[in-house]
Chains A and B, each alone.
Chain A
Amino acid sequence: MAESLSILVIDDNAIRASIIEAGLREAGHASVRVITDIEDVAQRIGEIAPDVVIIDLENPNRDVLEHFFALSRTIKRPIAMFVDKSDPTEIEAAVDAGVSAYVVDGLRKDRIKPILDMAIVRFRAFSRLRDELEAARSELQGRKVIDKAKGILMSTRGLSEDDAYALLRTTAMNQNRKIAEIAQALVTASELLGP
């Protein structure tokens, strides 16, 4: 492999940044640095001298970063957001995944493309992970509420646990709603009515 590229990852989400970093290292890039706070970029960019900068699209500091690159005289200027202006599919894929990249002018496309491709894949994987985590969290929350609702039914109506759950399920089916929603309604009502 040719001379190794210096890659800078800017992401205020430390978990996602480390996922990208790991991917780049696995792909054989030894010189990968991660910065989570934009304030550090100004101080450290000279020493890092990045060939490629990867930043998440939701980062409000993109405008700051671009201005910084435009002004910088000490480093090679990373410019041109995208690998190839004539490759709209790649650009769309990047924006869809929520990632944007800056590269030093003149770097060959075949050297950059795998890096951006990898970043896109990892960004997508992270989004999926986050969605799953969110789903798991709400699932757990739902289970807690259902347990509470069962408890209320058991103590106020003298039902067994199985019967309490069956009642919740039947009600949910009849109303075409989720069991957790019915359970939440019951818990809320019970809190309003008080002990």
Chain B
Amino acid sequence: MGLTQITAGYVPLLDSAVLLAAEEFGFAESEGLHLNLVRETSWANIRDRVAIGHLDVAHMLGPMPLSANLGLTPLDAAVIAPMALGLGGAAITMSNAIWAKMAEAGAPEDGAPGPVGAALRKVIADRARSGESHLRLAVVHPESAHNYALRYWLKASGIDPDHDVDIVIVPPPLQADALAAKRTDGFCVGEPFGSVAVARGVGRIVTTKGQIWQMSPDKVLGTRLQWAERFPEQLAALLRSATRAARWCEDPSNHTALAAMLAREDRLGIDADLILRALTGKLQFEPGVEKAIPDFFVAYSRAANFPWVSHALWFYSQMVRWGQVSHTAENAKKAVTSYRPDLYRAALSGMGMPVPGASSKIEGALTEPTEVGAVGGHLTLGPDGFFDGTDFDPEKLDAYIVAQRRS
């Protein structure tokens, strides 16, 4: 019998791994699917091609389904995230020159976001006093986990992201070039592009997204609501195969094979050694100095594939915080329904893989790995805290938004 064809778009980044592995290592086929993988050069292309139906599903920025449903995108098409493609996976890199000044101002080597941010604040204050231009920090898209993590970190460190620095957009593969050409002073982006900048000797990783917010969401599997409703069985089969692929991706004994596949010219086209750094959590913040960051990128465990409504709502709170959308009950509801844990749970039932019983959690409630209630097996979650010690209770969304407006 022939395989059911699904066209899947991706941007060449580490966390496209789960989707690519589902096809490349036979997980899709065992569910009767063939994924036609299409590499895209911009998030705008992913957005537009999903909206008009050229792509059935895609590797997407976590906030992107919200953007579509909140009217921030040019085409009116309801988009949902029935699955997440991993946790963590991104880092903040600064140019060597700025890092040297930060180190002088007391930035520690270990990436602890609090003291690193305090040092950056001093560097920025010095520049302001001597009349130097704003630092230019790059992210990949205004509505991305990277923009929100960078801004959260800056703001909590006493740096106003809208007035004390310039935040610009640079496509992931061009980040190291922009840093080398001094068009930017730093960036927050998914791996392997921080490691690429380090390997080229043009930058230093100063902290990671997972240190700013532990087990933080990043990319999702997105699809049009219309497609999900029209082909529910195909979607469920895809979610099952991608989850099996995710489990395979996380297993250290598969990292070499996975990195080799991702390194291929038609996939990421990046040296496998650089991809392995993020996969194994053995990063080099500077050339030659290896540093173990446990859980730097979590592909499967800790419910890494579960599309938490609390993740959607946190993204929404940041969209409001930075003026991208206005907060209304109706908009908050659109954010909630952008993520579909119900579809994920239904697809995985009976597979013997654990899925959280709840659809939302208090982000920051767990300070250490904790066993939680789950269907289908034992499940450990967390730690899921923010570096500044605040937490996000999705039940208290209004209060969170008000508190952030004041601070």
List A residues at the B interface (Cβ < 8 Å): 39, 57-64, 66-68, 70, 79-82, 85, 88, 91-92, 95, 100
What is the CA–CA distance of A91 and B51 in the complex, to the nearest angstrom? 10
> What separation, in Å, do the CA atoms of A92 and B306 have in the docked complex?
33
Which one, A39, A63, A82, A100, contacts B169 given CB within 8 A?
A63
Assess the B74–A63 pair: CB atoms within 8 A: no
B104 to chain A, nearest CB (A): 31
A63–B175 Cα gap in the complex (Å)? 13
A66 nearest CB across to chain B (Å): 6
| B391 is an interface residue with CB less than 8 A from chain A | no
* B49 at the binding interface (Cβ < 8 Å): yes
Contacting pair A58 B41 (CB below 8 A)? yes
User: 6 closest pairs, A vs B, by CB?
Assistant: A81-B74, A62-B44, A60-B171, A67-B169, A62-B42, A60-B41
Asked, given contacts A64-B169, A70-B142, whether A81 binds B183 with beta carbons under 8 Å apart, the answer is no
Task: Report yes or no: B171 in contact with A85, Cβ–Cβ below 8 A.
Answer: no
Residues on A with C-beta less than 8 A from B54 are 95
**Which residues does chain A contribute within 8 Å of B44, judged by CB atoms?**
62-63, 66, 100
In the assembled complex, B48 has its CB within 8 A of some CB on chain A: yes
Shortest beta-carbon distance from A129 to chain B in Å? 21
Closest chain A residue to B181, Cβ basis: A39
A63 contacts B183, C-beta separation under 8 Å:
no
Q: How far is the CA of A63 from the CA of B189 in the complex (A)?
A: 14
Cβ contact within 8 Å between A82 and B75: yes
Q: How far is the CB of A4 from the nearest CB of chain B, in Å?
A: 25
Q: A88-B52, A95-B49 are in contact. Are A59 and B42 (CB under 8 A)?
A: yes
Q: A63 to B168, alpha carbons, bound, how many Å?
A: 10
**B140 is an interface residue with CB less than 8 A from chain A:** yes
Q: Is B45 an interface residue (CB 8 A)?
A: yes
State whether A64 and B75 are in contact (beta carbons under 8 Å apart), knowing that A59-B42, A81-B48, A95-B48 are contacts in the complex: no
- B42 contacts A63, CB within 8 Å? yes
Q: In the complex, what residue of chain B is closest to A39 when comparing beta carbons?
A: B183
Query: B371: CB under 8 A from chain A?
Result: no
Within B61-109, the residues touching A (CB, 8 Å) are 74-76
Q: Which residue of A lies closest to B166 (CB)?
A: A71
Q: How far, in whole Å, are A100 and B42 apart by their CA atoms in the complex?
A: 12
**Selected A-B contacts with CB under 8 Å, 25 pairs:** A57-B45, A58-B41, A59-B42, A60-B41, A60-B173, A60-B174, A61-B42, A61-B171, A62-B41, A62-B45, A63-B42, A63-B44, A64-B168, A67-B141, A67-B168, A67-B169, A68-B169, A70-B142, A81-B74, A85-B76, A91-B52, A91-B75, A92-B52, A95-B48, A95-B54
CB of B75 within 8 A of CB of A63, answer no
Assess whether B75 is in contact with A59, with CB atoms less than 8 Å apart: no
In the complex, what's the smallest C-beta–C-beta distance from B134 to chain A, in angstroms?
14
Kindly supply a per-residue 1/0 record for chain B positions 292-326, scoring 1 wherever the CB is within 8 Å of any chain A CB and 0 otherwise.
Answer: 00000000000000000000000000000000000
Per-residue contact bits, chain B 371-407, to A (CB 8 Å; 1 contact, 0 not): 0000000000000000000000000000000000000
Q: Are A59 and B41 in contact (CB under 8 A)?
A: yes
- On chain A, the residues within 8 Å of B42 by CB distance are 59-63
B49–A63 touching, CB < 8 Å: no
Residues of A within 8 A of B227 (CB): none
Chain B min CB distance to A78 (Å): 11
B170 within 8 A of A: yes
A64 touching B74 in the complex, CB below 8 Å, given contacts A81-B48, A92-B52, A95-B54: no
Instruction: State how many angstroms separate the Cβ of A102 from the closest Cβ of chain B.
Output: 9
B residues near A95, Cβ cutoff 8 Å: 48-49, 52, 54
Instruction: Kindly state the separation between the CA atoms of A67 and B42 in the bound complex, as whole angstroms.
Output: 12
Distance to closest chain B CB from A12 (angstroms) = 11
CB nearest neighbor in B for A91: B52
Which B residue's beta carbon lies closest to that of A57? B45
A45 to chain B, nearest CB (A): 14
Report the bound CA distance from A89 to B226 in whole Å.
18
Contact of A64 among B45, B170, B173 (CB under 8 A): B170
Extra contacts, 5 of them, besides A64-B168, A67-B168, A88-B52 (Cβ < 8 A), are A59-B42, A63-B43, A63-B140, A81-B74, A95-B49
Min C-beta distance of B133 to chain A, whole Å: 14
Q: How far is the CA of A58 from the CA of B48 in the complex (A)?
A: 12
Contacts of B76 in A (CB 8 A): 85
Q: How far is the CA of A191 from the CA of B279 in the complex (A)?
A: 42
**Chain A CB within 10 A, most for which of B44, B74, B171, B183:** B44
Q: How far is the CB of A72 from chain B (nearest CB, A)?
A: 13
A57 to B47, alpha carbons, bound, how many Å?
12
With A58-B41, A62-B42, A67-B142 as known contacts, state yes or no: A85 contacts B75, CB within 8 Å: yes
For the complex, give the distance between the alpha carbons of A61 and B141 in Å. Answer: 11
Cross-chain contact B48 with A100 (CB below 8 angstroms): yes
Across-interface contacts of B173 in A (CB, < 8 A)? 60
Determine the chain B residues whose CB is within 8 A of the CB of A62 once the complex forms.
41-42, 44-45
